[in-house]
Every structure is written in structure tokens, then in C-alpha cells.
Amino acid sequence: MPFLSRLVYSLLYSLFILAYGPYYLLRTATRRQAPIPWLERLGRVPNRLTSPRSEAPSGIWIHAVSVGEVSLLRPLVGALSPRHEPLFISTVTETGQALARDLFSREAEIFYFPLDFSWSCGRYLDRIRPRQILVVETEIWPNFLEQAARRSIPVSIINGRISDASFKRYRRVRTLLTPFLSHINNFCMQSREDKKRILGMGAPETRVHVVGNLKFDYQLAPSPEKEEAINRIGAWMGAGGALLWVCGSTREGEEKILLRVYQKLRSSFPLLRLILVPRHPHRAGQVLDEINPTGLAAGLRSQLGNVPQGAPPDCLIVDTIGELAHLYAVADVVFVGGSLFPTGGHNVIEAAHFSKPILFGPNMQNFREISAHFLESYAALQVDSADQLETRMAGLLEDPAARRWLGRNARKVVRVNHGALQRTLQILKL
């Protein structure tokens, strides 16, 4: 059965790659992005990743698919790097790769995860020769797992999470996936619900643990470059009691709603400033085009230093990577995007770490347990509509004590749930 499962999966995966290739090339040309090095993903391993054959396997390979997963690695890398053991971090997306290089280029070798073919995965495993592999948030790649098992390299899921959408997809191919779950040595899951779901997919029960969410162990690493950017934000805000509303990880369609709310709020709070941080930075130009007809003065964060003296924009669109947490740190109110439409929501913990009052929309399915915990602890506000968002925002803007109270409650939730990192390290014996 495992051989048949691998054969069927490899065939379907190959067809997907062939179908996706032309779309990817077109998308890359349209966005003017640097292309992903496909020869490397197909198995041409960069020389910098090669381990001497005379040495025993060493080092830890951490796979984090994109920006969100890379961000939560800060405490983990901080705990592992002082041990002077080689660290390797792979990503799938361009934005994840850029953030990983920005955050961890001194501590780890950064590279793109190989395509899930036996030969490409095998070449990377033979050249890197890690003693352990950590996969963030339930990335299940059957051929990669098979090749690691053949080399007796233990693989562990860390900060494991299975969203509603992922669970539906996995259940459809449960028969194909279940044999490969036996190749995973530890499943360090975020919650009881995540444990229940991975068991329902066929994971061995003795290997599944509930450790909490690594994001609660978040620490903002010092960055002179990012701090300089925040200083420019401060200069843009100016003196005189201006308030800053940061809307993070927004998705397509949300910005129009947030802009309408912002325009209404400005009639009562003329010094209110807005920063929109699209989940995907390449959309910044599109968001800027949506703002222009409104009459609001808007600019890109990357061009903030080029704004003419005396003509500061009303709102900024962030077209850079890795600055969201720094922006949360200086915000007066935070809205967490991906929640006004059914895209599942985004992480609220970074904003809570800085004791900020947090609002989010009705769709937080991907963070159901976390968002419920915040709401039960009076540590965040959930809104069902643009009108309710406007009302809640107005109440917070005119009441500094309410902002402080909500922010203190948010920080308390983070403090109480701290400790997932140590529990994970203990289970993995790191």
C-alpha cells in the first residue's frame, strides 16, 4: 500500500507541477519578481549547503513554508543557535525566503525547499545530512518523508496546526497520506482540536502531543534597519496628538472597507493616520490605485523618505517585508486582517505582545481557539460589519483608558500561554 500510495501521489504531483508552471511564469513576469531557482528546487543543491562526507550527520533542518511560519521561528532559532550546531531553514514562497534571509542569515543557511520528488529530496538530504528535521505547522510532503525515513533521519512537526480548509483536503486523500504519517516521529500540536484532527488522519497516538502555540513565545528581535523605518513613521506622524491605526495582513477586498471606515472616522478624529499592510506585499500598488479615487493622500512605505516636505500622506501602504511587528509596536489600535471575508483570519499574538487593543472580523476559523481565548479574556473585540467596526474604533479612539485596558488584557493572555517552546524542546530532546 505505501508503494502504491507513493506512486499515485507522485503522478498527481507531477501533473500539478506541469500545469502550474506556465501560471507561475506568467505571475512572476506580471509582478516583476525575482524567479524562484527551479533548478535548485529540482535537486541542484547549492554548494554552501554541502556537509563533509567524513563527518557524522549534524545540524537541524527547519522547514517553514512562508512568512507566518518563518516569523514564529525567532524564539526557536534563538534557543538553538547558541549551541553552535549548523541550522538550515527552507521555505516555499518568495516572501518567506526574503524574510528568512532578513531574520536568520547569520544563524542559518537559507534555501528553497526542494520539489517533492524522490530524487530532488534525496539529493538535498544526502548533501545536507541533518540529524533532525523540524517541519512547521503540518507541511506533509510524502516523498520527502519517505526519503528521510530511508536515511533514518527523524522528522517532527512543530507548532502543528490543521485549519478547517486543510482538514477537508486531507480527509479527501486520507488513504494516500496515512501511510506517510508513520514516518513522522513527533507531532507537537497547538491545541486539542489539532491533536484530534491529526489523529483522525491516521497519526500514531503515542507520537502526538499538545504543547501550545509557539507564537505565544514571540520576541521581537532588535533590528537597526527596522527601527530606522519606524523612526520615519514617527516623523510622518508628527507631533500634536496624532493616532495610528495599523491594519495588518489585509486581504483583497478588505482594504476598500477599511478605507471607508477610515474616511468616516476622520471627520471626528482628523489626526488619525492609517497604515495598511497587505498580506501579500506585491498587492501594495493595487491598493494604492484603490485609494487614489477616494481623495486621500496615500503613499508607499518604501517611498516614505521621498515625500515632499509639508505634504505627508494620510495613509501608508506597506510594500516591504518583515515590518508588521514593528508597526504593531507603535500602533494605537490594531485591526487584524483576513477576517472580514472567509479567508480564516491571521495571528493576533504579535499585536497582543505589545499590549495593543485588537479588533478583528467575524472570520477567524484558522485561529478559532486563539481568538476565542482572547474574546473570553476581554482581550480583543470582534466586529461583524463595517458599521460595527466604525463604532468600536470610535469608542477606542476617544477613550485612552479603554485602549490601555484592552491592551493589558491582551498582554496577559500572551503571558499566561507562554511556554510552548520549552515543551517542544523537551519532547524533541533538543
List C-alpha distances in Å: 11 to 48, 199, 349, 412, 423: 31, 26, 40, 49, 39
Using CA atoms, how far apart are residues 294 and 360, in angstroms rounded to an integer?
24
In the chain, CATH 3.40.50.11720 sits at: 29-210
- In one-letter notation, the amino acid at residue 76 is L
138 in Cβ contact with 160 (< 8 Å)? yes
Cβ contacts of residue 223 below 8 Å, gap of 6+? 326
255-296 pLDDT per residue, tens: 999 999 999 999 999 999 999 999 988 899 999 988 988 888
Calculate ∠ Cα 125-138-15, nearest 5°. Answer: 70
Q: What is the mean pLDDT of the chain?
A: 89
DSSP string, 210-248: E---GGGG------HHHHHHHHHHHHHH-SSS-EEEEEE
* pLDDT bracket for residue 16 (50, 70, 90): confident
Give the pLDDT confidence score for residue 295 in this predicted structure. 84
Average pLDDT on 34-41 reads: 78
* pLDDT bracket for residue 233 (50, 70, 90): confident
Between 228 and 247, whose confidence is greater?
247
**Computed from CA positions of residues 308, 231, 222, 380, in that sequence, does the dihedral angle turn out positive or negative?**
negative
In the chain, CATH 3.40.50.2000 sits at: 224-416
Give the pLDDT confidence score for residue 247 in this predicted structure. 98
349 in Cβ contact with 343 (< 8 Å)? no
Question: Please, which residues bridge with residue 155 across strands?
Answer: 133
Give the pLDDT confidence score for residue 309 in this predicted structure. 53
Catalytic one among 69, 94, 146, 350? 69
Average pLDDT on 319-340 reads: 93
CATH number among 3.40.50.2000, 3.10.400.10, 3.40.50.10950, 3.90.1150.10, domain 224-416: 3.40.50.2000
Average pLDDT on 146-174 reads: 90
Between 222 and 253, whose confidence is greater?
253
Residue 23 pLDDT greater than 90, yes or no? no
Residue 370's Cβ-count burial label (10 Å; 0-12, 13-18, 19+) is: buried
276 in Cβ contact with 245 (< 8 Å)? no
Instruction: Check if 69 is active-site.
Output: yes
Using CA atoms, how far apart are residues 268 and 237, in angstroms rounded to an integer?
18
78-127 pLDDT per residue, tens: 999 888 789 999 999 888 999 999 899 999 999 999 999 999 999 999 99
User: pTM here?
Assistant: 0.82
DSSP string, 26-94: HHHHHHTPPPP-HHHHTT---GGGPPPTTSPP--EEEE--SHHHHHTTHHHHHHHGGGT--EEEEESSH
Residue 29 pLDDT greater than 70, yes or no? no
Using CA atoms, how far apart are residues 52 and 274, in angstroms rounded to an integer?
52
Closest to 73 measured CA to CA, from 113, 104, 27, 117: 104
User: Which grid cell sits at 380?
Assistant: 480583543
Cβ contacts of residue 54 below 8 Å, gap of 6+? none
Residue 299 pLDDT greater than 90, yes or no? no
DSSP string, 170-214: HHHTHHHHHHHHTT-SEEEESSHHHHHHHHHTT--GGGEEE---G
Lowest mean pLDDT among 234-238, 283-287, 365-369: 234-238
What is the fold, at CATH topology level, of the domain defined by 29-210?
Answer: Rossmann fold (3.40.50)
